[in-house]
Structure 1
Amino acid sequence: MLVNNVSEAEGPNLSIPIPILHDLIVSSVAQHGDKVAMVCKHQPADLFPAVNMHDNSRIKHTEKSHLQWTHSQLQYGADLLAHALLKQGLQPGSPIAVLLSGRVEFHMLLRAAVKLKCPFTPLNLRAPQNAKEIRHMLTLSEAKAVIVEDDSIAARLEQTVPDLMQQMQVKAMAGPKSAIESYLSLNEIVSSAAEDDSFPETQRTLDQLDRCLDDVVFIWFTSGTTALPKAAPHTNKSLTCNVRSWGEAFKLEHTRRWLQILPMNSIVGSSWTLAYLIPGGSVTHVNYNFDVQSIATAIQEGEYTDVLAVPSMIDLLSSSSILTQSSVKGIDHIIVGGSKILRSHVEKSFGVLKCRHFSPFFGMTEGTSVCSETLHSVPESLDDPIYAGYANPGSKIRICAPDRIEPLPRGVPGEIVQGGLQKIESYLGGQGKDNFFTDNEETWYRCGDQAIMLPNGRIAIVGRYKDMIIRGGMNIASAAVEAIISEGTGIDSQVIGIPDEVAGEVPIAVIKYAGGDQDIAIKIQRCVLDKMGPAYAIEQVVNLHALGLEDWPKTSSGKVLKRELRLMFENSLLSAGPEQTDTPRNGEYQRIQTQTDEARLQDLLLKRVQQQGILVSSIDENFHDIGMDSLLAMRLKNAIDRDVELGGHSKLAPEDIFQYGTVRRLAAHLMVNQHGSRASTGASSHFDAIVDEMDSMVGKYGEFRMHRVSEGVVAHKQTVLLTGGTGSLGAHILALLVDRDDVATIYCPVRGREPAKRLEESLSRRLIGTPQYPEKVKLISIEPGKPWLDSDAAMKEALLDNLTVIIHAAWPVNFHLPLSSFRPHLRDLQKLIQLSLDVRLSKPARMMFCSSMGVALSTRGQKRIAEEPIMDFRQGLSSGYTQSKVVAEYIVQRAVEDFGALASNLRIGQIVGDTKHGIWNDQEAIPLMIRSALSIRTLPALDMKCSWIPVDTLARAVIEIATMPDHQQPPRLVYNMCSKLTFSWTSDLLPALADAGLDFKTVPFSEWTASLREYSATNGLEVASINCPAIKLIDFWEKSYGGKEKQHDGGLQFDTREAQAVSKSMATAPDVIKSGLIKVMLDSWMKNWGGHVNATSVNGQQH
């Protein structure tokens, strides 16, 4: 029994017996197999086709824009990967080193390692930059397999530790085949495993492996106080106890949806996935790494219950303009640890991120579940710290004097010491023995942090004994940085941490240097950046002489007094006083007397950027390319804000650093602000940067080789290359092409290892029959990110000899992606246009690019959009998607005008269901809006004119234009492909839906969205989203239609006379309202929605 007047506490007991991790996962999948487990919004839905087809889950048949798997699918993918690794020579029990970001492959590998009884060792993606450190980690962990993110990491490993790489049993890479021959493709080996008849036998063998509580299942590396990281081996016992402790402390169960934003090599970032998944919850990644805008958008949408973060992440997220909007739904529970938590972090979490619960927690790599508590509001007292809370379930805590084992009296500060089942028993390789001691036959671990335990057992972290710097939640060992400086420059240094408003702490290098090199500071900064990465970036290099010292302050035994050195440095900053330029007058910084010219501003900005550890070598080098992270970006923003010569009189938006991305662009932005009109020019300069990027893309992807005429070589039948054949429009185009006698062959690139199956399923789903399909269609299997045009030499030759038409109908429809994300698709467009020019015929192949009406929806000053090229990039700036389509149209225009291509931009409007079956993807926005009537019995009145065109009508029109006889006029550069017949949403569509039997009441838009929110609140978000998916798009609806006095469609009209002149289908497109197509589509939807329409309804009346 514990005495309550000493600093010792135990959390609630954990239930016994302790399970084996493998058994815990198997049991979880058996219980929760059909629930959603893994969502990766930045990865394609068909990344692993074999996994997608596994299990008849409720998410299998929906058309998803991103990867989404059930628990059963995730485990199946992991089992396939375990089988593949075993077949490639990996022996059970062999440690696996993993250098991956936040992606589904990481989670597959984690579970595959558990299946194989292989210790899972996640490493920092930048670890290979430090040859000494990566050798140490791979050697100490005894890794026999290495799985990496990309070619750059693989190349660095092969360069720095070639001998260790030669000894690996398996080397593999996420994504398609690596350019480095010895690295396998995870995609390929998983696909092969799915077709291996021995897979079931392998699973039985692996399930029968002997497993015990003391088996090492994870190895994490922690930045110790020595020069090299320490290896913390977690066993079945310690890891499962941590998982269960977290589950009990935070009440984790199957309804919890974790938005994962932490680095995957951290113990919390990787192992907490198990804490959420094992009870049946889900884990979501919105980007590969921490990205403020995409995470802020996810928090705004309110789909997730939990976020785990370090304090600096709270600062970065709360600075996003996205979270200042009134529509922010927020997050239920924010859990924060990793470095000192301030009251401001709690205030921002409740006030900006709109959390309902906030939990500070304390833990470390050696045992993460130590103590925590949950706050339901910002603490009233301004005097108290933010406490770390009480001992977690299964945790044992003491506060001891340094180097002692007896607990101190409560209220006396000392070192926090951890006991209990959650912690490791020792480091690998005999490192750090002094960190552990035994008392009463139980092992305890000295954490190195200073804490106080109150009389009620509540714990506050008040300081640190270890020589450690914590930057943004990441431990930086001073000795490790000092060793790099010594090895790289030969200079003796002491690295200390000083407080920073963004990162918590940043490293300062105090050097002993008597040489005359004026650039020694930048050389030291670049040395650390090159060897260790931006997370270790040195904030400032200071010579001892600047502090008035000849030597380091030391103890009598010769140990450097870093605490005293730190105080001396901080005092030197205070004595220097704030610079005049840092002092605002009346809330505004003084203007410099002479406006800075652009060249000088660029020079100044380049120096400031380099001083912040973003070591670009020129004003045009992209910040991202040299590894800028969010902390560096935020600190650069703050430095610029304070510097009057760079813009101290004007505040940058946090996203500006990412948006502009180079010194040149950022300087141009600052120049605009420097000349006044900050409020009005901020958005303008932002759009100017986008326009510059669009123009740059046109230049980059708009270069081609001219067509070489092959005199007299004429194709007698059409050979067509069709992209997007599995989409709705592509499937209808394909079916029509197959039925045409003048078409000899259709080439269809399709993703995945089973393209025929995917294509057949697409046709079948749309009730499209094609008897001649096997005879005419040649399928091309493509992998995401892999250049498919050059993968098959025989196919390429056949295309060059026969190709007459290219119809490019493949483009990702994702309005959240920035313009830069579409670069691969613009590159594909460039290659297809070049292919059309390279054909060995008398004229180039015709190229039809399926564009969008969105390229003109931002047009101002005109009502009618002619069938002419876009004259200004600003006509399509509404999203990254429309921006990419504008760029694509310009590339096509350049190919036609400057290089002689025969190409057209088909500017497509709203596509609806086909005229025969009415099949329209019910996951699109308009069907989802209509579906809401089944749940809330209302639909909104919108001031909007619609010009809808059935998909089969559009498909015929595309083919008619693509195959126009040569004697007709040559194809135009632009055709507007929308219906000439418009109708009113409120006056025409809603009565047609009522006539078709849909039971609803027409209400104002604001009342409709209020009903959606009420339905969600009454039924719970998860259930409501399943029955009424429109709830998930409330923010989209309000942004598109809410609070506008003007017309919801912008009042634009698209001229289609040229399209009608060359296409009979365009000229005779059916009237969607009068033709009865609304009822056909509604009947089709009802088959999926499980609802019914009224057999008798009053004509024209809505109930």
Structure 2
Amino acid sequence: MGSHIEPSESVGRHLSTPTSILHHLILSSVQEHGERRAIVCKGQPPDHLPAISKGTHSEKLSKQSHSLLWTHSQLQYGADLLAVALYRQGLQHQSTIAVILSGRSEFHLVLRAATKLNCPFSPMNLRAPKNAKEIRHMLTLSQAKAVVIDNASIVEDLENNVPDLMREMQVKVVLDGPIVRSGYLSLTQMIEDTATDAAFDEISTRLDTLSRHQDDVVYIGFTSGTTSLPKAAPHTNLSFVWNLRSWQEAFGLNHQRAWLHILPMNSIVGSLWTLAYMIPGGSVTHVQAGFETTSIAAAISSGEYTDMLAVPSMIDLLAASPLLDARHRGLDRLIVGGSKILRSHVEKAFLRIRCRQLSPFFGMTEGTSVCSETLTEVPASSDEPIYAGYVNPGCKVRICDPSDTKPVPRGVPGELVQGGHQRITGYLGGQGKDNFFVENGEVWYRCGDQAVMQPDGRIAVVGRYKDMIIRGGMNIASAAVEAVISERTNIDVSSQVIGTPDEEAGEVPVAILKHSPDDRDVSTRVKRCVLETMGPAYSLERVLTLRELGLDDWPKTTSGKVLKRDLQMLVNQLLDRERVSGRSRKTNGDVLHEETRLQHFLLDFAQKHDMLINNIDDDFLAAGLDSLLALRLRNAVMREIGRTRAHFQLGLEEVFTCGSIRHLASHITASVNSQKHTNFSETHIGSTLEMMSDMVEEFRVVRPRKSMSTSRMLSRKTLLLTGSTGSLGAHVLSILLARSDVDAVYCAVRGDDPLGRLRASFSERCLEYPEHTQKIRFLPYEPGRLVDGLQDSTRNAMLASLTHIVHAAWPVNFHLPLTAFPPHLKDVRDLIQLSLEVENKPAQLLYCSSMGVALNTIGQSRVAEAPMMDFRQGIGTGYTQSKLVAEYIIQQAVEDLGASACILRIGQIAGDTKAGIWNDDEAPPTIIRSALALGCLPALGMTCSWIPVDSLAHAIIEIGVSASQPPRHLVYNLCNPSTFSWDKELLPALTDAGLDFQTVPFATWMDRLRQFDRSHSIEEAVANCPAVKLIDFWERNYGGKAQRPNLLTYETTNAQEHSASMRSAPRIIESGLVKRMLSAWMARWVPKAEPAPG
């Protein structure tokens, strides 16, 4: 007699909750845990929204933090203020509040304010307002009566795409920044005003006592659907609280848990999970609004946080961080879900991230708790899958045949089906009706995932029935991508989008097209359209045609439905054949050396890696080539050619310099065939010199000043500053704001949140931002439109008062060719023209150039404080070429048009004298950081003249701003008059400061760097040793020193004459600055463990 096999049905352990009303649960939590830490937002200052920080008696804890830190009482008090403010605007209960915010404190305030008002809270993707059809669908389906918006850019998207809905919107709120349209309210001002409202207490109490029911909708989340538009999933008090309590019980959450939040806030994680941690008295910390590996790795290493929730692809990125070494403290629990979890993810979680517990889980995007378990070590058997675990408390699960509602026997795959109070009962607008069925009066929900329940009730999720692609934890609806291809490409094409396996992302989307043979470049146009319309997360991995799959038409059922499973099988077979062919193909040297075949290879590679290349003459930069893609392209070429030509080398700079597949293929072919490389180089140099000359002529200033003034400089100063969020610009601004003779500083800042960026820059550099200053005037900044973008009123005010312009903004990217810099050269010209039009007399322009403009000087060892005489002196990179072109433009304006300007030729900027903070991505820190990965540093045989950034900032002010007359000289070389030896002084100082490394010859260091690059994936190599990105730069600038023994030195006579800070610049070695700089670096690269909060 056979043994009985149980059906695949299970119920989690009993779950109870003190109340099914979310607001009551929050109030009781605040009453019990009010003085405990609730949220920390690292990107926001501690005194953000001061009415909240000072509005309770919970200030002591807040004052201990350098970032925004609110207790549970403060957070709820802020939410109360906002709720009353919204109520004052006429918002009624059950009026949906649409929320388009990033992960900051305001998100938490609006969530709790909406709950207090008994209004559904509906977070939406920050990109949604750019898509008119999608945002209209979301706002209409949710019946939003109020909207809270992150920034002015999103306001413009909404007003342009759904102006009728915005006119009807009852309440429109935007965060900090100028209110650019009438009818919008400032969230900050609303809170500040309500804090002094005499009726606040009475209204707040009345809102707390509103009638509430367990079936009231409290949350509306949007998830990718199998249609082209997202589905709206409403949660009631009952379902939301039941989910919240289920996760709390599953993971034993209490007041000692400190959650590091790294996922997007617009998902259910941003709302339900944050409350799940905070209601028992725990805390939630946001390191940044988005995912940034270095900051998150540093936070994990600090040991301050007990828990973190991540998707598998984030584990891969974090595990590659050099910050996570053997000394970091790690996490108590790492919760992982969102896509398939591999054994490698578990190993990295325990061995690299060093979590003590790993909790795989499965939950719906709609916000429903399903199953989870907790591991304390890597499973012993590699044959077992990583299970999603056991049914969570309060949940019900079945595994059914997709065509039936009855559970299949345990051990048999089927569709995961969910019951219980935590699941939603339907989607808004009648979407997804087929997902639900009723049995014995209870609603069940088909999840669409294929799963197997083991005899002991353990569940493994093994695939998907639904037509959905999960890329790195993000749901991509195939139909949504297909709709974009159909509606946006203007091509008569039908498409099917399927998911294919990918090691890093789990799944990636591939499009199969059917179109007329007469249509050209369809694949590229489709790929570009999807990328530009939907964003990088939806980028198509491949675009194939039916013919490439051996088909003339779509495979279909008898009823006419396309069989996507058949397509998926054919695509996977094709990709498998390509991979096998790529591994086994024997390279024919003659074929590889044929230029046309190489062009085909490069074009094929580019089109498979998200470069929008249509033909071999398309420009690389315009097609999206960045450093990482250039590395991949270079490595692919070297692997192919290296099979027969082991000596072949291709520099990353050569890829950028060639600029197109045609030129790159020609250059590689010539190199491989041992043709003289100098032919290419000299041809390139000649064309570059001609281009530099043409640009000087194109951007020369042609309008002279109408009337000249010989009056003295005004005693009161008004300045325009670019680059204020950079290291040098921030220090310059800090000095200017502290000066009593400075009335105003116009700061040109890119992005939608200039104040936030400026505050963050000051905080990062340990500079004190004067919160109550009235001196700063923000200007929008877009390269090439710095002056053109000024409003008439602003321009007129500047022409009446401007005395100085400090131009410190410039893209520091040594890979960019000269052709990438015209917008920045136009800004130089426009700033000179602006300075000439100032009413009193020409405003003084201080242009921050670079000593790199002289690096290729030949025939002299000393660079004078004088104009460059030959374009060849700055021929090194597009960056130095553009800087030298700008110098020529300024020189011409001074000599021919009477402009008042000087060129500040800046050397290597080091960390500041107080904290030693130096940008990680600059050349010296990048070399020094390589010691952590390689265990060695190179002997470079060079003399250094580094100058601390704060000393340099003071020098700039002393030369250009403080004097009663304009600077007497056109050029000032700003480097440290006190030099030191890299080999004999710096390397020993680093050893004394605690850095462990061997000193090796430069060639040995380069060999180890290349070996590290070859032995790791590109992503891992760059993450652990960023120096690999600049291998060609190191070789070009340091590898040839044996042939160039006479290194350049720079005169600083003019600079020392006009600047006390230059004369007294600290000696880098003797001052102890090396130790401070190393300490600041290591705090970011390998932070020391700190005690966990008690």
SS at 2:743 equivalent: strand
Q: Which residue of structure 1 aligns with residue 556 of structure 2?
A: 553
Displacement of 1:659 in angstroms is 14
Displacement of 1:363 in angstroms is 1.0
Are the counterparts in 1 of residues 616 and 662 from structure 2 also a CA contact under 8 Å?
no
Are the counterparts in 2 of residues 957 and 1065 from structure 1 also a CA contact under 8 Å?
no
Displacement of 1:438 in angstroms is 4.0
Are the counterparts in 1 of residues 804 and 961 from structure 2 also a CA contact under 8 Å?
yes
Are the counterparts in 2 of residues 253 and 281 from structure 1 also a CA contact under 8 Å?
no
Q: Which residue of structure 2 aligns with residue 345 of structure 1?
A: 345
1:98 partnered with 2:96: no
SS at 1:340 equivalent: coil
Cα distance in 2 for partners of 1:226, 1:841 equals: 63
Match of 1:37 among 34, 39, 61: 39
1:839 partnered with 2:834: no
Displacement of 1:17 in angstroms is 0.9
Name the stretch that deviates more: 636-645 or 279-288.
Answer: 636-645
- After superposition, where does 1:601-640 map in structure 2 within 5 Å? 609=606, 615=612
Displacement of 1:265 in angstroms is 3.3
Displacement of 1:143 in angstroms is 1.8
Match of 1:1061 among 1057, 1063, 1075: 1057
Amino acid of the structure 2 residue aligned with 1:452? V
Amino acid of the structure 2 residue aligned with 1:433? K
1:708 partnered with 2:705: yes
Distance change >3 Å, CA 357–CA 873, structure 1 → 2: farther
Q: Which residue of structure 2 aligns with residue 505 of structure 1?
A: 507
- After superposition, where does 1:467-506 map in structure 2 within 5 Å? 467-482=467-482, 494-506=496-508
SS at 1:462 equivalent: strand
SS at 2:275 equivalent: helix
- After superposition, where does 1:19-418 map in structure 2 within 5 Å? 20-25=21-26, 31=33, 35=37, 37-41=39-43, 56=59, 68-71=68-71, 82=83, 85-86=86-87, 90-102=91-103, 105-127=106-128, 132-147=133-148, 157-158=158-159, 160-171=161-172, 176-177=177-178, 181=181, 184=184, 188-191=186-189, 193-195=191-193, 199=197, 201-202=199-200, 205-206=203-204, 208-209=206-207, 210=210, 211-226=212-227, 228-252=229-253, 258-268=259-269, 271-278=272-279, 279-286=281-288, 288=290, 290=291, 306-315=307-316, 322-323=321-322, 329=328, 331-332=330-331, 333-350=333-350, 355-418=355-418
Q: Which residue of structure 1 aligns with residue 925 of structure 2?
A: none
Amino acid of the structure 2 residue aligned with 1:593? L
Match of 1:720 among 717, 720, 732: 717
Distance change >3 Å, CA 558–CA 851, structure 1 → 2: closer
Displacement of 1:582 in angstroms is 1.1
For structure 2, the residue ranges without an aligned partner over 5 or more in a row are 920-938, 998-1023, 1027-1046, 1077-1094
Cα distance in 1 for partners of 2:118, 2:502 equals: 43
Q: Which residue of structure 1 aligns with residue 775 of structure 2?
A: 779
- After superposition, where does 1:441-460 map in structure 2 within 5 Å? 441-460=441-460
Distance change >3 Å, CA 15–CA 699, structure 1 → 2: farther
Instruction: Using CA pairs under 8 Å that are at least 6 residues apart, name the structure with larger relative contact order, 1 or 2.
Output: 2
Cα distance in 1 for partners of 2:632, 2:278 equals: 38
Cα distance in 2 for partners of 1:87, 1:657 equals: 60
Distance change >3 Å, CA 788–CA 74, structure 1 → 2: farther
Cα distance in 1 for partners of 2:356, 2:697 equals: 48
Match of 2:744 among 719, 742, 747: 747
Amino acid of the structure 1 residue aligned with 2:381? S
Cα distance in 1 for partners of 2:485, 2:992 equals: 69
1:971 partnered with 2:969: yes
Distance change >3 Å, CA 199–CA 854, structure 1 → 2: farther
1:540 partnered with 2:543: yes
Cα distance in 1 for partners of 2:909, 2:145 equals: 54
Amino acid of the structure 2 residue aligned with 1:840? E
Query: What TM-score results when the alignment is normalised by the length of structure 2?
Result: 0.68
Displacement of 1:562 in angstroms is 3.6
Amino acid of the structure 2 residue aligned with 1:553? K
Distance change >3 Å, CA 519–CA 831, structure 1 → 2: closer
Cα distance in 2 for partners of 1:137, 1:628 equals: 34
Q: Deviations over 1:726-782 (max 9, x none)?
A: 9877666666654xxxxxx73345899999xx9xx99xx99999xxxx9xx983454
Q: Deviations over 1:537-584 (max 9, x none)?
A: 5533433895456663315x665544345435545666xx44786125
Are the counterparts in 1 of residues 592 and 641 from structure 2 also a CA contact under 8 Å?
no
Q: Which residue of structure 1 aligns with residue 890 of structure 2?
A: 895
SS at 2:239 equivalent: helix
Cα distance in 2 for partners of 1:190, 1:668 equals: 55
Displacement of 1:387 in angstroms is 0.9
Distance change >3 Å, CA 96–CA 199, structure 1 → 2: same
Cα distance in 2 for partners of 1:323, 1:952 equals: 31
Distance change >3 Å, CA 258–CA 821, structure 1 → 2: farther
Amino acid of the structure 2 residue aligned with 1:720? K
SS at 1:16 equivalent: coil
Cα distance in 2 for partners of 1:406, 1:436 equals: 14
SS at 2:557 equivalent: coil
Amino acid of the structure 2 residue aligned with 1:836? S
SS at 1:384 equivalent: coil
SS at 1:144 equivalent: strand
Cα distance in 1 for partners of 2:554, 2:808 equals: 70
Distance change >3 Å, CA 644–CA 734, structure 1 → 2: closer
Amino acid of the structure 2 residue aligned with 1:1061? E
SS at 1:411 equivalent: coil
Displacement of 1:232 in angstroms is 0.9
Quote the sequence identity (%).
Answer: 43
Cα distance in 2 for partners of 1:840, 1:19 equals: 69
Cα distance in 1 for partners of 2:336, 2:368 equals: 12
Q: Which residue of structure 2 aligns with residue 1005 of structure 1?
A: 994
Amino acid of the structure 2 residue aligned with 1:719? R
Note the aligned Cα RMSD (angstroms): 6.8
SS at 1:718 equivalent: coil
1:563 partnered with 2:565: yes
Are the counterparts in 2 of residues 38 and 283 from structure 1 also a CA contact under 8 Å?
yes
Displacement of 1:142 in angstroms is 1.1
Distance change >3 Å, CA 768–CA 97, structure 1 → 2: closer
Are the counterparts in 2 of residues 361 and 371 from structure 1 also a CA contact under 8 Å?
yes
Are the counterparts in 2 of residues 78 and 112 from structure 1 also a CA contact under 8 Å?
yes
Are the counterparts in 1 of residues 84 and 203 from structure 2 also a CA contact under 8 Å?
no
Q: Which residue of structure 2 aligns with residue 10 of structure 1?
A: 11
Cα distance in 1 for partners of 2:778, 2:230 equals: 41
For structure 1, the residue ranges without an aligned partner over 5 or more in a row are 739-744, 914-919, 927-942, 992-1001, 1009-1033, 1037-1050, 1082-1103
Q: Which residue of structure 2 aligns with residue 463 of structure 1?
A: 463
Displacement of 1:460 in angstroms is 0.7
Cα distance in 1 for partners of 2:406, 2:532 equals: 44
Distance change >3 Å, CA 86–CA 449, structure 1 → 2: same
Cα distance in 2 for partners of 1:518, 1:612 equals: 20
1:594 partnered with 2:562: no
Cα distance in 1 for partners of 2:600, 2:179 equals: 40
Q: Deviations over 1:868-926 (max 9, x none)?
A: 78999999999xxxx9999889857753455544235285999999xxxxxx8669689
Cα distance in 1 for partners of 2:769, 2:149 equals: 42
SS at 2:368 equivalent: strand
Amino acid of the structure 2 residue aligned with 1:505? E
Query: What TM-score results when the alignment is normalised by the length of structure 1?
Result: 0.67
Displacement of 1:477 in angstroms is 3.8
Distance change >3 Å, CA 156–CA 657, structure 1 → 2: farther
Displacement of 1:301 in angstroms is 7.7
Distance change >3 Å, CA 1068–CA 11, structure 1 → 2: closer
Q: Deviations over 1:413-438 (max 9, x none)?
A: 22222223322222223333343344
Displacement of 1:76 in angstroms is 6.2
Are the counterparts in 1 of residues 120 and 220 from structure 2 also a CA contact under 8 Å?
yes
SS at 1:448 equivalent: strand
**Number of residue pairs matched?**
965
